[in-house]
Amino acid sequence: MPFWSAMTSTVSHMAEPRWRARAAVFLALATIAVPFLVAGIPPLADYPNHLARLWLHEGGIAREPVSGMYRFAWDTMTNIGVDLAARMLAPLLGWEVLGRLLATLAGMLPPIGGALLWARLHGRAHWWQIAFGMLAWSMGLLFGFVNFQIGLGFALLAAAADPALSRLGSAGWGHLLVAAAGRATLGLVLMLTHVFAFAFYAALLAGIALGASWRGFLAPGARLPALSRIAVAVLPLALAAAILALLSPRLPGSQSGGSLAAIWEDVAYGWSDLLGTPWRKPAEALSGLRTYHDGLDALTGLALLAPVVVALATRRLRVHAGMMAATLGLAVLYVLVPSGLLGTAVVDARFAMMATLTLTVALRPDVPAALGRMLRAGLLAVCLLRTGAIAWIWHARQADVASVARALEPVPPGAAVMPLKHDSPDETMPLGRVTRLMHTYSFGHLPALALPWRRAFTPMMFSAKGKQPLRVLPPWSEISEPDGGTLGGVALLTDPAEMARTLAEIRYPPLWRERFDFILILNADTRDIHGPFRPPPGLSLVRDEGFAQLWRIERAR
């Protein structure tokens, strides 16, 4: 019997015991926790900045001299989920334990929520849910977008609960109001967590309302009922958004003016950038899959693509039409929205990550059983390999964290530390220091740990109005970057052209002699593209810990 016929024979169509699929999915999802267990401070770019703010919530903000540097300002009602949790839990758990817990949730909630929503929509356990374990390692997590990641997970979990609300709403007007109130409440929670999580929840509800069949909203006469179902599902969220907009003194984008002119300027710049670098959008569309290594990411993509191709070839690919429509809508937003908008970075790629999750929710590759066993084994093997590789990389990068801690030991409380880096080619850096997509340094916010470790000031603490409930007090505010800024290269200390280029992104480098006490150089164990670092007069080396170097500044008088 030919191989293909054997694979599609009647015997091979028999369903396998469900426990095998459930066990494989459970293993894929449970092992996501392993990298967070082996890495005390995982190399997630923004994470150390969030971690330092947790220390402030624990009580550090009341300690001298930090009390003269920062204050809390609860003048926004969105993107503050981590801060609300920290205000209650940091004094009980401690900032380090809470930080590790929140980072773990940022990694685990989106795949768990996706797997649960998939089961709700498709009605049974299936080995395809292993795919969500592979999507845990996305650019959103590697960038350290803790609020964003937790918000995506909450949105998926809330959408998974929506069929119960829909059944309740079909029982009469009173129950319909209860269902609407439930959606509005969930929308409020998601808006407090992150504004993109709120938008994602709206897209998921629209996909659920459209239904599993294309005929449910494309057939003649079906469009108006479909629109009414979407309105019933999504209008309560509009009410929640209106309430928060009215109650919030500041909205996201306040630090950039928040005007229509500012939005149009960002959109216009985004379109010009797209025309100048047309390859960027197709490349960044894979933000939901990219990590630190091209080979690992390519293997992941092939493992996810294989079941879909086999299911198409055997005409067994099932698609939830509503979720596919939601995927297309998010993809359109990805193309239209600029990368930077009102002071927020990587805006468009966030829609790409959402689209990847909804696409995985939409698909169900029902392949013949014999092929299914092979594909399940391959998918699980690649998933565990991907998670294991992340764990190995994160564990290796703990040496960088330890290097920074040792280098900062001589810094006294109240000192100002200016962070810089060696600008190095990707191939000269160990795995985990830079992402393959968007060339983002994973160590860019490690200097923020000078705050909890040494009670010292660094200029990169997140304190943007409308986005974080933290403010920098004068005179420290004169050398701070509310949006975090970027890590300048050491060449700016001696090269006027490099200094001018850096000033387009951060404003404090010209004041390095007058306002800072130390310079912390990261990535110092790799060669700089500008050549060997020759310190200018007035700098003396205090600590050389390989990855991190601490230099003392002779302050101008």
At 221-254, the pLDDT tens digits run 899 999 999 998 999 998 888 887 787 777 666 6
Report the pLDDT value the prediction gives residue 256, as an integer from 0 to 100.
Answer: 59
**Distance, C-alpha 183 to centroid of its chain:** 24
The answer to whether the peptide bond before residue 475 is cis (omega within 30 degrees of 0) is yes
Place of tokens 């340094």: 441
Neighbour tally for 14: CB within 10 Å: 10
Tell me the average pLDDT across 426-430. 90
Buried b (16+ CB within 10 A) or exposed e, 183-206: bbebbbbbbbbbbbbbbbbbbbbb
Encoded tokens for 165: 């609300």
Strands 417-421 and 488-489: parallel
User: Identity (one letter) of the amino acid at 336?
Assistant: L
Report the pLDDT value the prediction gives residue 9, as an integer from 0 to 100.
Answer: 34
Q: Provide the 3-class DSSP secondary structure of residue 457.
A: strand
The string of pLDDT tens digits covering residues 103-133 is 999 999 999 999 999 999 998 889 999 999 9
Residue 165 above 90 pLDDT?
A: no
Calpha distance 150→158 (Å, rounded)? 12
Calpha distance 218→270 (Å, rounded)? 33
**Distance, C-alpha 298 to centroid of its chain:** 21
Q: Provide the 3-class DSSP secondary structure of residue 418.
A: strand
CB distance 545 to 552 below 8 Å: no
Residue 400 above 70 pLDDT?
A: yes
The string of pLDDT tens digits covering residues 509-542 is 999 999 999 999 999 999 999 999 999 999 999 9
Calpha distance 30→37 (Å, rounded)? 12
CB distance 117 to 204 below 8 Å: yes
- The upper half-sphere exposure of residue 282, i.e. CA atoms within 13 Å in the direction of its Cβ, equals 4
Calpha distance 437→439 (Å, rounded)? 5
Under the banding of pLDDT at 50, 70 and 90, the label for residue 17 is: low
Report the pLDDT value the prediction gives residue 257, as an integer from 0 to 100.
Answer: 58
Q: What share of the chain is helix, strand, coil (3-state, %, to 5)?
A: 60, 10, 30
CB distance 138 to 289 below 8 Å: yes
Report the pLDDT value the prediction gives residue 11, as an integer from 0 to 100.
Answer: 32
Share of the chain above pLDDT 70, in %: 93
Encoded tokens for 305: 């693509």
Residue 174 above 70 pLDDT?
A: no
List the domain boundaries for the chain: 16-393
The string of pLDDT tens digits covering residues 458-473 is 999 999 888 899 999 9
Give 227's contacts (C-beta < 8 A, 6+ positions apart). Answer: none
Backbone angles phi, psi at 516, to 5 degrees: -115, 150
The answer to whether the peptide bond before residue 474 is cis (omega within 30 degrees of 0) is no
Report the pLDDT value the prediction gives residue 254, as an integer from 0 to 100.
Answer: 61
Residue 10 above 60 pLDDT?
A: no
Q: H helices of 194-318, where? A: 195-210, 215-218, 223-247, 260-276, 280-284, 294-313
The string of pLDDT tens digits covering residues 307-322 is 999 999 999 999 999 9
Tell me the average pLDDT across 365-387. 93
Residue 508 above 90 pLDDT?
A: yes
Report the pLDDT value the prediction gives residue 14, as an integer from 0 to 100.
Answer: 37
CA distances for 158 relative to 84, 202, 223, angstroms: 19, 10, 25
Residue 181 above 70 pLDDT?
A: yes
Report the pLDDT value the prediction gives residue 339, as an integer from 0 to 100.
Answer: 87
Place of tokens 């897209």: 203
Query: For the whole prediction, is pTM greater than 0.95?
Result: no
Residue 169 above 80 pLDDT?
A: no
Averaged confidence pLDDT in the chain: 90
Calpha distance 238→231 (Å, rounded)? 10
